[in-house]
Each structure stands twice: as C-alpha cells, then as structure tokens.
Amino acid sequence: MTAVEPSGQILGATIKGMDLATPLSDTDFATILLSLGRHGVIRFPDQHLEAVQLRDFSRRFGVIQATLTGRHHEPGMPEVGYLSNIIENGEPIGITDAGQDWHTDMSYNETIGFLNVLYAVKVPRRDGRVLGDTMFVNTQAAYDDLAPELKTRLDGMTATHDFNKFWENMRLRPGSLRAPLSAEQRRRRPPSVHPVFLTHPITGKRVLYCNPGYAIRINELDEAESDRVLETLFAHQLQPKYQFTHHWTEHDVLVWDHLGTLHNAIPDYHADEHRLMKRCQVMADRIFDPAFLRAALSSSSAVASAR
Ligand code: SIN
C-alpha cells in the first residue's frame, strides 16, 4: 500500500510502499508526479537498485542527460553518473565536487532539466552524525513572496544560463580537479535563454526560474541593472525560510523537481569519509507536453493518494 508522508516543512515528502526496482504502475507514476509538484523533493527509503533499474525508473520521466566528461559513470551506462570522493587506482570514481553551491541542474540547456534522481550507495558519518546533506529551496514559495512591482517588471523577461559559470566557480576553488572546459565541451554546453518566471506544468503555479549557479544575465536589462536585479533575486530565494535539508540514509532514492527547487550539496566530509551517489539527470522533454501530462495524471486514485 503506497503512502505519501509530507515532511511538514517547506519541501519534502517520503513515499513508502513502492519498489522502484520494478516497473511503475500508471497509478504510482501519477502519484510521484503529483507529489513532486506538491512537495518538490521526494524520498523513497530502503530501495535496492541495480544501475539499470535506476536508469529505467528515471527514464519513465524523460530523456536522461549523459555526463559531459564521458567518465564518472556506471560502466557501459553513461546515463548513470557517479558523484563520489572515493579514489580507486589513483583516480576519483565520480565527480568529486558536483553541485556544491546553489544551482538548478540543466537550466543551461535549451531543454531544461526536470528531475534529479539520486541513489545513495555510501553516506559519510562522523561521531554518528550524517554528513553530506543536500539542501533545497522552494522556488514556488519564493515567487509567491516576490514584491508585486518586481513580479510585474520581470514578467516576460528572460535570463541567459551558462554551464561555464558554475564550472568556473568550482574550478577556481582550492584543490579543484577541474580543468577549464575545452572548446568542444563549451560547444556541447552552449548558454541558453529561459523566462525568468516559468509556469510549473504540474501545479500551474509560477516559479522563480533564475538560479545563482548558472544565470548570468537578464537580457532585457542593461548589464549593471541586470547584475543588481540578479543579486536581489538570488538573495531573496536563498532566505532560510524557503530552505529544506535532506539528511541521507543508504538506500534512499531522492527525486527532486528542478522546476520548483534549487539545490546545494554540502561538502562537510573529509577524503576518508566516503560518499557515493548514483545519479540520473532527467530532462524536461516531456513534462511540458499537456497530452503527456493529461495521460500520466488520468488515474484519479493517484490524485487521492497524493493529497
Ligand atoms: C547535484 O547537484 O546533482 C548533486 C547533489 C548531491 O550530491 O547531493
């Protein structure tokens, strides 16, 4: 029996009673979509997945973006990336510093990101305390509370998002293993432009879609004014009242909605405190299609159980 248990906080719910290793029923799929719209971040505890099962679960929601570096993934399966500080044969097995600042995955793509799906294989602990939390911000709530004149002014404006902004932010940190992006890598991740406010396809609510990790410019404003407005938007949405923290347990699958959240992976663990997440990055290639969503949500029992 499936149960959706809201965290009672600004984001977050736990779904119990689903085995993600087996194909999802239409009802379970609809329950997950509705829960993502409502709660943004969904935990599925006590899952036991092979990489292929993680991939198959994830791609029910959309196309999975493969890793840019062509490394740091499940052997033979570039859709299942590794985020990890574990070193084997002198080489990190995963991306060591993925997501370690506020951002929204794939806002830099023409087809933006819909979901992240992370499967916790190893979670660091010190003196019994869990480390390596992931923090989130609720961008629907952040939009709701924006000053009315700012909502009116920015309505219809667009922002440019650039993959290289976050890459350079990480690369310039002490100890970074990142090299500058090659010309070929930049060609494969060109900047892209999106509305500052999006309508969330599941909830129909507006969200503030402008994250500090990748947004570099509000295109309809001159540069100085764009910088000023971006700073205002970033500071507004990062207020603690919009934040939620997930503390990991091994065998959690955590699925979050990039349209309704920002996130930030906290690197508070040392090299010998191992963390390993397997990740699928799902694109929003289907979720904005009304026919897809109508068909996916047609199960009325799912609507009831997600409430
Ligand atoms: C990410 O930004 O996708 C990584 C999140 C995490 O490792 O907690």
What CATH number is given to the structural domain containing 65?
Answer: 3.60.130.10
Nearest residue to 26 (alpha-carbon basis) of 292, 251, 307, 285: 292
* Closest ligand 1 atom number to CA of residue 279: 3
Count of domains for the chain: 1
- The residue assigned the tokens 């002014």 is 153
- State whether the beta carbon of 277 lies less than 6 angstroms from ligand 1: yes
pLDDT of residue 69: 75
- State whether the beta carbon of 170 lies less than 6 angstroms from ligand 1: no
Averaged pLDDT, 260-275:
97
Answer yes or no: is pLDDT of 304 > 90: no
- pLDDT, mean over the chain: 95
Contact indicator for 171, 100 with CB cutoff of 8 Å: no
- pLDDT range class, residue 301, cuts 50, 70, 90: low
Instruction: Give me ligand 1 centre to Cα 13, in Å.
Output: 18
Q: Read off the pLDDT of residues 115-139 as tens digits, 9 standing for 90 and up.
A: 999 999 999 999 999 999 999 999 9
pLDDT of residue 307: 41
- Could you give the CA distance from residue 107 to residue 110 in angstroms, rounded to a whole number? 8
Nearest residue to 118 (alpha-carbon basis) of 201, 35, 57: 57
Q: Which domain does 226 fall in, by range?
A: 3-306
pLDDT of residue 4: 98
List all residues 6 or more positions away from 215 whose beta carbon is below 8 Å from its beta carbon. Answer: 107, 159, 160, 161, 165, 230
Q: Which range has the worst mean pLDDT, 26-40, 98-112, 257-271, 287-301?
A: 287-301
Instruction: Give me ligand 1 centre to Cα 100, in Å.
Output: 7
* Closest ligand 1 atom number to CA of residue 263: 2
Q: What are the backbone angles phi and psi of residue 69, rounded to the nearest 5°?
A: -75, -15
* Closest ligand 1 atom number to CA of residue 265: 8
- State whether the beta carbon of 134 lies less than 6 angstroms from ligand 1: yes
